[in-house]
Structure 1
């Protein structure tokens, strides 16, 4: 399928290209530089001058990250190598959950998808080296040793993209460096009596004009889990039903990751860079469950069940970047990338009665592949003494194929959905932006982005559907410094952003549940969805400490969302399957999201003179959201907590080469009303981590850390409540302390 933009769209592309050329031409058209000003005569030699005191100041460790945040016109938090390495985390998810304003949607002590401002599921844009991560990609596939820095933007920009209602997390992999280095880290994790080994190796080097960095990561994770689920059902004219299920699971996961960066320096301001990225995950799991039905034992659907399964996921991507600098100073960046991922999962579930007799067997097999490409060009130039302009054009194409089979005793459960599905998506975007130093007190960052996406899918029943959308996104950021040489500044952003539709949310394929009910429905997409649009306002006050030693920050934000997408469960008649409960996404109306965010980061000596070398960090966020077309109370945006908080400290001892640290993060429990009949329940998630680092020499260190020291139980639940039926399901899962020992060597 080809993307056929209208003449109006072609005009926009031509305008964007003309703007890019105009940025370069503007620099060429500038008048000759001002005549050189003759140097002032040297001052007369001082006589009997008193000795002058000279102070040499510099950033403390980690101060460069604070300085970069301070000097940026756009609200940006940069997390560098020092903070990434601080706890010796085994996965990137563990690093992210300690960052201010970042939460994970997984179980306590586990990973999960990162969220900004409590909003996930497409509200938070995740980038890897400036490009969106593919569907199905797990953040925990990345080892912290593979990451150079993490950038967090609370509001979208024209350059990074407007698909970021909550904000953007950009993960930048290790860069090429000139010095030779072998960095080897051997680790062992202990969780619930099971050991998990790990290895990370980073190699840097250079030869003439070529420099390179490669990072290899290999981990084997062995985990155990136990959960207890209860279900209560009350229907008009039927006896009350209660079921109790206890389950134990064991899994083993092998992760391999390789990423690199090869850079050829072609001349002054010119380079060619290749960035290969490869990840592979192999997971095997076993689960056994026992079901009791005290209300009516004779009608229990089964007494014991066993599930065995495995899944594989592989991802490969090659990105190329060509940078060049024209004679007038214009910088051009040409980008291109190709990517491919494949996933496969197989599981078999057997159910037996109380005597051990086999009742039925479920087989579920799925396979998917995704091929993608992208290309773009960006021009950056100095338009005038105080203006920096950027213009760019982006193209992207994705093709996905999926096949899935669901068998009951060897017979397809849904014959109408037995075939595979195909989907294609093409995106085109153009943007311009200008960063303007208005005065020593004021700076502004303005941008305009246009983005169009067309998706076309072939359904399992042969039907074809398409979805087209385009969005204009004006974006304005400003920073005001009451005293240009002072430490205070106020940031403001007024933006237009949106939440794009994923291929998975548009495909009408049905994924069946084992026991179909309102709280355990089938899953499917909705080809009629429309993207969500949001108008956002952000205000932030920042106070920086001397020497960029730390900062204090307080900010408020608001998002007005139209066309909110939410999953709802409804009774449907499916071809060949009869009437079933199906959960699909729908556009349900408008919503308002607002919040207050507080952050502090500074050394203890700022408060107490002569205090130990302790660095403190703290953050707290308070959120309030309301979906206008859903009755209250608790009609919040899905799975956004009311507040989050974190507190951490690091202490570098002076008498011995030991560093100690701890971090406490807190997310309280909350209830979300999804519709007039549905509730979602999430339990509290405290997380307490600690570490110790003994440095034997600059090239050898030993790290011991503990994650999830509080090891809380995690509660999740769903309630369906109508006039004729009420069903409530609740699951309590155990969590465990994860101990890590790691030897760090620089060879």
Structure 2
């Protein structure tokens, strides 16, 4: 019989509401509830299961499926990973997946999404059901109710892309259920101007070999972020000036997610699965500034009004066939499409003086497959391929108040690019003995980006060969502690935006006959970038305690080459008659990063028996991550990789109140202040960041629960509340402080 770990048992609205989404949510909730009642009342084949006329005619086969918890799945995995299931996803009543990830050990959320091991955006690979997420996919608009589990994978494997220098976060969406069921979650949260609502409904049906599910999520937001900016830099007359600017940014919008799934079982050996995902949202953003000149004639940021939409569509077809007890093939075909548009207006003296409109569309086709063969009882050999063809079109136009193009040579021209990715791999999972397990893999991946546009061409190709080795040692075959080690090669390929050699003029210095400042540079891509390569070593000790408890400690090191960093310099450019300060990504240096990560969770009575022996219902969680890095091209101190904090910690608890159907809990996270030496001329300072979450959940009945939650110290869709300071060697600086009020939400879960 095949081992569950061999074949990957771990991987399994419309615009009518645009004008008034809140008024529609209640009606949708009632409609969904009626659908759920109808689905349960209608028995299979239109007959009641309790019919008194039913006669036993044959022996019925009963399939019993043991559902493993997240801790057991983690323990059985052939590589080091952390797994978080429904209990962790539901505990705090989060309304989006990004909020869940803020509390995961070794994961922090900043601008650009979740990051592992303190490394910046792009070093962490985001996967959806094991496949790379499409560009523009919004995790902050994905409801946790649509997720089955989240896997945090510390080192790459051959069957997934090796673009995971820091690691991968794999989001497994809900599978179809083996029985009819429906769930409804209605939420209300505190908004800036009014309450905002969200609704999540899912229904599952099964009839013989066919099973289906339909999760639907509708959400909206209304929030305000306060920003205080202080600058010292050359002003409108070219002389040093100091300014203070207080901004109020109001953001509101709404969106929906729908992810229908269908499974058909032809036989015990052959199945077909269709999984789709649709996401769309409409956003509006307005910034109003109060300006104060402290010295000279400073340049201020403009008031802005922006709006747009985004959408993602995805469909995957998966065919699985088991030829025999020891042979299996899996073939996948995927189609993806993403679109977005924006309309941004800069306001000066109550009139639009600069307007940028644009959008992009990306279409891709993926095809992959893998063949697995069990060799005896010790080896599982897997070979596969992974192909992707992606076409991307972008259009942007910036004009002044008279309708004149800001850069006539570039504005309005469509940018079209093609990206081709091909990968082949082979891996062997070898159970050497009951105590030793070995995973060996080899993956070759090639990415080619090309555009024929004359004004800003892109032609870039990279190929990376990634040998991978993971080993697990159990001190005793039946023991609950083990050591894992990995030696891998991973990489980070430059994105299209980084390769695109089209200039973007800074909005504060649109007069291209004048020189801008180093704190307000223009931007341009670099088509000559090459991938960053990383050789990584990971070693971890894991001790699995009783009742889903765990203690782990891990160390890692990554040796990186060709690290990309944005470099700002004053240069003569072909789009301006005066020299301009320009920021451009460059392969800047080699680097080394290393760290140690602790994780502990379990019942308080078992973790601290002498102090809390009677606290049977109290669960504790704690994590501590310590990081260090340095770029060889810069002298220390503080020559760290972008955005990598020196350390961070998470502390949490939850407890069932004795005698009451009530659970309470909370979480506290902290990151200290730190400095980053960007270049010899530029230093970046970041303040400490703290956030706290609390929740209370009451069980009103066996099928209904009510949850109240609050969060302080974080911005809903971005980084925590903090202050950043950019300093130049000539004394110029820019200090920005951002703050968002605490968030409150109330949700009710109903099993229909």
The within-5 A match list for 1:200-239 is 200-233=200-233, 239=239
* Pairwise CA distance, 1:600: 0.3
Q: How does 1:428-443 map to 2 (within 5 A)?
A: 428-443=422-437
Aligned position for 2:495: 502
> What's 2:445 paired with?
451
SS of the residue corresponding to residue 514 of structure 1 reads: coil
- Which residue in the other structure is 2:331 paired with? 334
Quote the offset at 1:463 in angstroms. Answer: 5.3
**Is the contact between residue 191 and residue 221 of structure 2 (CA under 8 Å) also seen in structure 1?**
no
Q: What is the rounded CA distance, in whole Å, between the counterparts of 1:463 and 1:188 in structure 2?
A: 47
Cα distance, 1:193 vs structure 2: 5.5
Q: Distance in 1 between matches of 2:714 and 2:343?
A: 35
Where does 1:128-207 land on structure 2 (aligned, <5 Å)? 128-192=128-192, 194-207=194-207
Q: Which residue of 1 aligns with 2:570?
A: 571
Match of 2:399 among 373, 383, 407: 407
Which one is further off, 446-455 or 286-295?
Answer: 286-295
Following superposition, the deviation at residue 408 of structure 1 comes to 2.0
CA contact (8 A) 2:456 2:502 kept: no
CA distance in 1, matches of 2:170, 2:408: 43
Q: Which residue of 2 aligns with 1:715?
A: 723
* 1:609-631 CA distance string (max 9 Å, x none): 33240111110000000010122
- Name the CA distance, whole Å, in 1 between partners of 2:645 and 2:484: 25
Q: Give the alignment of 1:292-691 within 5 angstroms.
A: 292-296=292-296, 299-301=297-299, 305-327=302-324, 329-352=326-349, 361-409=353-401, 410-418=403-411, 419-459=413-453, 461-462=454-455, 464-515=457-508, 516-546=516-546, 548-578=547-577, 579-606=579-606, 607-608=608-609, 609-691=613-695
Partners of 2:67 and 2:98 lie apart in 1 by 21
Secondary structure of the residue aligned to 1:67 is helix
Whether the aligned pair in 2 keeps the contact of 1:191 and 1:737 (CA below 8 Å) is no
Q: Which residue of 1 aligns with 2:513?
A: none
1:332 deviation in Å? Answer: 0.5
Contact 1:311 1:344 in 2 (8 A): yes
CA shift at 1:704, angstroms?
0.4
Q: Could you tell me how far 1:227 is from its partner in structure 2? A: 0.9
Match of 1:224, SS state, is strand
Contact 1:63/1:549, CA 8 A, preserved across alignment: no
Supply the distance in 1 between the matched residues of 2:517 and 2:561 (Cα, whole angstroms). 31
2:277 aligned with 1:277: yes
C-alpha separation in 2, matches of 1:285 and 1:540: 45
Q: Is the 8 A contact 2:603 2:616 kept in 1?
A: no
| 1:19 aligned residue | none
> Could you tell me how far 1:524 is from its partner in structure 2?
2.1
SS at match of 2:69: helix
Distance 1:468 1:512, change over 3 A: same
Task: Give me the whole-angstrom Cα distance separating, in 2, the residues matched to 1:249 and 1:470.
Answer: 43
Q: CA deviation at 1:207?
A: 1.9
Contact 2:628 2:640 in 1 (8 A): yes
Structure 2 SS opposite 1:490: strand
Shift of the alpha carbon at 1:292? 2.0
Alpha-carbon RMSD across the aligned residues, in angstroms, is: 2.1
Find the counterpart in structure 2 of residue 52 from structure 1: none
SS in 2 for 1:416: coil
Q: For 2:218 and 2:571, how far apart are their aligned partners in 1? A: 45
Is 1:96 paired with 2:101? yes
Q: Which shifted more, 136-145 or 514-523?
A: 514-523
Moved over 4 A (4+): 709-713
- 2:76 maps to 71
Matched-pair contact (CA < 8 Å) for 1:714–1:735: no
Is contact 1:178-1:211 (8 Å) kept? yes
Task: Please name the residue that 1:287 is paired with.
Answer: 287
Give the distance between the partners of 1:312 and 1:571, measured in 2 at CA: 36
Match of 1:13 in 2: none
Contact 1:416 1:575 in 2 (8 A): no
Q: For residue 749 of structure 2, what is the aligned residue in structure 1?
A: 744
For 1:189 and 1:62, how far apart are their aligned partners in 2?
A: 33
Q: Structure 2 vs 1, CA of residues 192 and 367 (structure 1 numbering), >3 Å: closer, same or farther?
A: closer
Equivalent pair of 1:191/1:736 in contact (CA under 8 Å): no
- TM-superposition CA deviations, 1:525-565 (whole Å, max 9, x none): 1100000111000110111113x531111110000001111
Which whole-Å CA distance do the structure 1 matches of 2:367 and 2:653 have between them? 43
Deviations 1:14-67 (A, max 9, x none): xxxxxxxxx99xxxxxxxxxxxxxxxxxxxxxxxxxxxxxxxxxxxx9972111
Distance apart, 1:709 and its partner CA: 6.2
The aligned counterpart of 1:44 is none
Structure 2: gaps (5+ residues): 1-5, 8-65, 509-515
Q: Contact 1:113/1:120 (CA < 8 Å) preserved in 2? A: no
- Which range moved further: 135-144 or 594-603? 135-144
SS at match of 1:501: coil
Q: Over residues 395-430 of structure 1, what are the superposed CA-to-partner deviations in whole Å (9 max), with x where a residue is unaligned?
A: 101111111111122211111221121111101000
Alpha-carbon separation, structure 2, partners of 1:537 and 1:408? 53
Question: 1:413, 1:673 → 2: CA distance?
Answer: 34
**3-state secondary structure, aligned to 1:574:** coil
Q: Kindly state the Cα deviation for residue 569 of structure 1 after the two structures are TM-superposed.
A: 1.2
Is contact 2:590-2:631 (8 Å) kept? yes
1: CA distance, partners of 2:674 / 2:270: 53
Q: Give the Cα separation in 2 of the matches to 1:193 and 1:406.
A: 32
Query: Given that residues 290 and 305 in structure 1 are in contact (C-alpha distance below 8 angstroms), is that contact kept between their aligned partners in structure 2?
Result: no
Tell whether 2:79 aligns with 1:80: no
In the alignment, the residues of structure 2 paired with residue 506 and residue 522 of structure 1 have an alpha-carbon distance, to the nearest angstrom, of: 15
Unaligned runs of 5+ in 1: 1-22, 25-60, 107-111
Q: Output the CA distance in 2 between the equivalents of 1:390 and 1:626.
A: 38
Report the number of matched residues: 670
- Hey, what's the Cα distance between the residues in 2 that align with 1:163 and 1:698? 45
> 2:461 aligns to what SS in structure 1?
strand
Quote the Cα distance in structure 2 between the aligned partners of 1:269 and 1:615: 42
Distance (Å, rounded) in 1 between the aligned partners of 2:527 and 2:344: 28
The normalised TM-score by structure 1 is: 0.87
1:328 deviates by: 5.5
Instruction: Compute the displacement of 1:467 (Å).
Output: 0.8
Structure 1 residues 408 and 328, CA gap change in structure 2 (3 angstroms): same
Please give the secondary structure, in 2, of the residue aligned with 1:268.
coil
Mapped to 2, the partners of 1:643 and 1:194 lie a distance apart of: 37
